[in-house]
Every structure is written in C-alpha cells, then in structure tokens.
Amino acid sequence: VIDVLLSRCPVPLLVIRQPYQVTDEPFSRAMLLLIAENEAALEAAGWMIGLTAPGGVVELLLVLETEAIQNFRGLMHEIDPRVEITSGQLSEALERSFVRLHRALGKAAELGKLKYEFRVAHDEEGPPAELSSTADHPLVVLALERADHGSQGHVHDRIRHSPHTVLVVPRD
C-alpha cells in the first residue's frame, strides 16, 4: 500500500508507524535525511521548518551510503589506480554539495527561533542513534524525487525501519 501511495500521492505524506501522542504543538525535533542531491530537498526543508515547534531543533543529516562510497572509489580507480579516496574526503564533498541548503536552513532556523544542526553520517557505522531510539520521537523528513531510484529506495527503507513519524515530500 505504501508503495502505491508514494508513487501517486501529489502532496506530502505523513506516515505514523506507532501510536503517537498528539498534542497541540508541532514537533520539538525534526530531521531532514538526504543521501544525495534531490529536487524535493528544498521543499522538504520548508515543511520541516514549518512543522517544528518554536525553540525546537531542526537537523540536516546527510547520509553517506557504503554502496555510494564503493561505487565512487571504483570509478576513481578506473581513472587512476594510484588515487585513494577516503570516506572523510567524500564526506567533505557531500557537505560542499549541500552548502546552499545548509545556509538556507541555518537562516530559516534563526528566523524561526529554532536550533539548527548539520552533520554527515556514514551508514557503515549504522544508523544514527536518533533514528532508532524512541526517546524523543523526532519527525523524520524525507525528500522523494520520484525519478531517482536511489531516493525511492532510501525513502522506502526509512519508512519500513523507522519507529518515528515520517513525512515524505514528493516531487516528480
């Protein structure tokens, strides 16, 4: 059912997997997870800011996948077998590719009186603790670029494994 909804829903989709205590306030913590450039990222960031309670925390979490690291290293090896690319170098490159979104989120958080955090996580280290802990129930925001297979797989995986409320913001 979720696959059909994700492929056809023209508006953001909120998925609640466990009983969640609904209050009059929006979320106090929200995380935007991205694995690569994504056409829906800016709109997803806007939704995240808008749904976070004043004084809350918003975070941009870039996930560097093991498969992406291996693929990039393989390509670089084909160009020059002597070049060694570290995970740290790939993390820095990923950070640079998201600098506009990072700055926009920082400014929006400041205007909305929110705390803003930014980091890169490697999936080979396992998922960040916030994604598996049920302690503070963050809103997990995912940008879905329907034309991008990687984006689709990432969104489906997060929905299946997250104990938290997930907001999927789609774009064709």
In contact, 139 and 48? CB cutoff 8 Å: yes
pTM: 0.84
Separation CA 2–CA 123 (nearest Å): 24
Distance CA 24, CA 70 (A): 45
Which residue is it, tokens 């992406």?
A: 68
Nearest Cα neighbor of 159 from 146, 142, 147, 135 is: 142
Report the candidate in 52, 18, 9 with the shortest Cα–Cα distance to residue 32. 52
Look up residue 25 and give its amino acid.
E
pLDDT in tens, the chain (172 residues): 788 888 888 899 988 876 666 665 668 899 999 988 888 999 999 999 999 988 999 999 998 877 777 888 888 888 988 888 887 888 888 888 889 999 999 999 999 999 999 998 887 666 666 666 656 668 999 999 887 767 788 888 888 888 888 999 998 8
Helix (H/G/I), strand (E/B), else coil: 74 = helix
Tokens of 161: 């494994």
Q: Are the beta carbons of 52 and 26 closer than 8 angstroms?
A: yes
Helix axes 66-79, 87-97, angle to 10 degrees: 100
- With H, G, I as helix, E, B as strand and everything else as coil, classify residue 124: helix
Give CA–CA dist 60/101, Å, rounded. 9
Give the up-direction half-sphere exposure of residue 88: CA atoms within 13 A in the CB hemisphere: 1
